[in-house]
Amino acid sequence: MSDKPSPLSRRQALGFIAVSAGGGVFLPGIALAQQASPYVGLALFDSGAGVCAITPEATEGPFYFDPKLQRADITEGKAGIALNVRLQVVDAACRPLAGARVDIWHCDAQGHYSGYPGQGDGQDVDTSGQSFLRGWQKTDESGLVSFATIYPGWYRGRTTHIHFKVFPNANSVMTGQLFFPDSLSEQIFTTVAPYTDRSGKRDTSNARDRIARRAGPLSQAALREVAEVYQALMIVAMKAG
């Protein structure tokens, strides 16, 4: 099995276009800017768009640590569907925040996080000392960061998600989670290796995940296909202070 992230074909992608309740948006190419999504009213990734809705905070979860790795590519050879995570950090007036530190971390295709013992359905997977699918960067002048990674898998009791922390300065931090369309996740997990290699069936959708429900639509990623790489885009609007 190859360790390279494997993008979906365009034909597969066209079969995934969906907008589901509490499930996010998946759109190919330029259609993202033309269809209804949580971001249309914000002129996605443009400054001066008016007042932004503050992104809901979400729990950090049990699997955070700082591997002290400032990097754009966090895959470390993990196999899965290639994903580019693009976050734009802005204030309540949609003005980009430059120089903010952004950390992201998430599980691999088998539902395991790096750096922790006692994982997996049998609680017998130990990834201590590893740092895959973790990293941080600082936002550019447009408030943007971009991470090369893979589409996250799932583990029992949680829907598919990516964790993030934003440190706009040394004295404050915002913690959140980014969620994905259920229809896309289900298609990937049931048809694409290595996601299909694991036993069992995903037990928690966005609608059944209390953290996703509380976070609401502003924490749902907008997804699009760009040059055979899939992008997950989200604006992170922060309170003043």
Task: Give the pLDDT of the chain (241 residues) as one tens digit per residue.
Answer: 445 554 443 334 333 322 222 333 333 333 333 333 344 333 445 544 455 678 889 999 999 999 899 999 999 999 999 999 999 998 888 888 999 999 999 999 999 999 999 999 889 999 999 999 999 999 999 899 999 999 999 999 999 999 999 999 888 999 999 999 999 899 999 999 999 998 888 999 999 999 999 999 889 888 887 777 788 988 898 886 6
Domain assignment present for residue 5? The answer is no
Domain total of the chain: 1
Distance set, CA 124 to CA 30, 60, 119 (Å) = 44, 23, 6
Q: Which helix (H) or strand (E) holds 226?
A: strand 222-226
| Cα distance between residue 55 and residue 44, in whole Å | 14
Domain assignment present for residue 64? The answer is yes
Domain assignment present for residue 2? The answer is no
Answer whether 208's CB lies under 8 Å from 157's CB: no
Helices (H) and strands (E) in the chain, counts: 3, 10
Answer whether 117's CB lies under 8 Å from 128's CB: yes
| Cα distance between residue 230 and residue 41, in whole Å | 22
Name the residue range of residue 74's domain: 10-237
Domain assignment present for residue 3? The answer is no
Domain assignment present for residue 1? The answer is no
Domain assignment present for residue 176? The answer is yes
| Cα distance between residue 88 and residue 97, in whole Å | 8
Can you tell me which residue has the tokens 């996080």? Answer: 113
Rg (CA), the chain: 17
Can you tell me which residue has the tokens 């896309």? Answer: 184
| Cα distance between residue 33 and residue 123, in whole Å | 43
Q: What is the CATH number of the domain that holds 91?
A: 2.60.130.10
